[in-house]
Amino acid sequence: MSTNKDSKTVIIIAGPTAVGKTHVAIHAAKYYNTEIISADSRQCYKELRIGVARPSIHELQQVPHHFIATHSIHDEVTAASFEIYALQKVKELFERYDTVIMTGGTGLYIKAFCEGLDPVPAINAVVRQRIISEYQARGLEWLQEQVRQKDPAFYASGEIQNPQRLMRALEVVESTNTSILDFRKGTKAQRDFNIVYTGLELPKEQLHRNIHTRVDKMMEEGLLDEVKSLSAFRHLNALQTVGYAELFEYLDGRITLETAVEQIKTNTRQYAKRQLTWFRRIKGTTWYSPEEACKRFSPA
């Protein structure tokens, strides 16, 4: 089988949470008779299922998926390690297929795969754990203020509602006395295959309905019990995420269950908005509704 760049393509199917990426990706994978690599920073953890909207057993049986339930929450999984994993996996898949599908909502993972990452120095593990512990105890406003004081350049970049990015910026500046922005050189790695960006979007009202319905379904399926079973590990990075953090607050008696569920919905809507902002910056992306995308990946 030919291995020149013109014959090998990765189709990226990106978009906000609850837009329907899994359904479209499976449709596309069947059309090209190929496999799917997930680009989701939480679905890779085998202990997390309901709260990360992992594809169902039925969906996973339809098309082989990679980077789903492959790691433990005790493993350190980063955009850099995903880049290594995904490049090796796509190399293996290109031995059998000309086209591979990648789908997910973690923009930094997709960027790492497509363009590479700028090198960031090693972070002191003690510093990282202290920041996580203080964030858990003091909340987002404390984290925002710390970054505002210690890395005003990053604070001004506008990513102040994302605790993961804030903690990353804070641990870098505390470990190196240098802003994380100074490590972003903007040099893109060259890949020896084609990359086609497909974006999925819905009207805001419809996307919000999808999010609310999904959260309600998660609760019906037992998300609270899943969170209870993971309470001892709440300090781990894998659990600093929407759907788990709010229910830990409820379990601690700080808020009611109804409030926790409403906060999950609100925080998920805000996350979806940030995802769209990220993906809309990618030049060359063709945007479709999920229905239009499925038609694109169908026989004429």
106 pLDDT above the threshold of 50: yes
pTM attached to this predicted model: 0.84
| CB neighbourhood size of 202 (10 A) | 19
User: Quick one: CA torsion of 53, 59, 64, 65, rounded to 10 degrees?
Assistant: -10
14 contact partners, CB below 8 Å, separation of at least 6: 21, 39, 103, 104, 105, 107, 110, 197, 198, 199, 200, 279, 282, 285
Is the Cβ–Cβ distance between 196 and 10 less than 8 Å? yes
pLDDT of residue 1: 31
For residue 6, name the pLDDT band (cuts at 50, 70, 90).
low
Cα dihedral 257, 261, 266, 272 in deg (nearest 10): 150
- Checking if the pLDDT of 202 tops 90, the result is yes
* % of the chain at pLDDT higher than 70: 96
DSSP secondary structure letter of residue 194? E
Residue in the structure block whose two tokens are 């190929």: 34
Query: What pLDDT, in 10s, does the model give residues 246-290?
Result: 999 999 999 999 999 999 999 999 999 999 999 999 999 999 999
CA distances from 225 to 33, 230, 243, 248 (A): 37, 9, 12, 11
Q: What pLDDT does residue 156 have?
A: 83
Q: To which residue do tokens 């199917």 refer?
A: 13
Here the tokens at position 161 are 């509602």
Buried b (16+ CB within 10 A) or exposed e, 55-79: beeebbeebebbbbbebebeeebbb
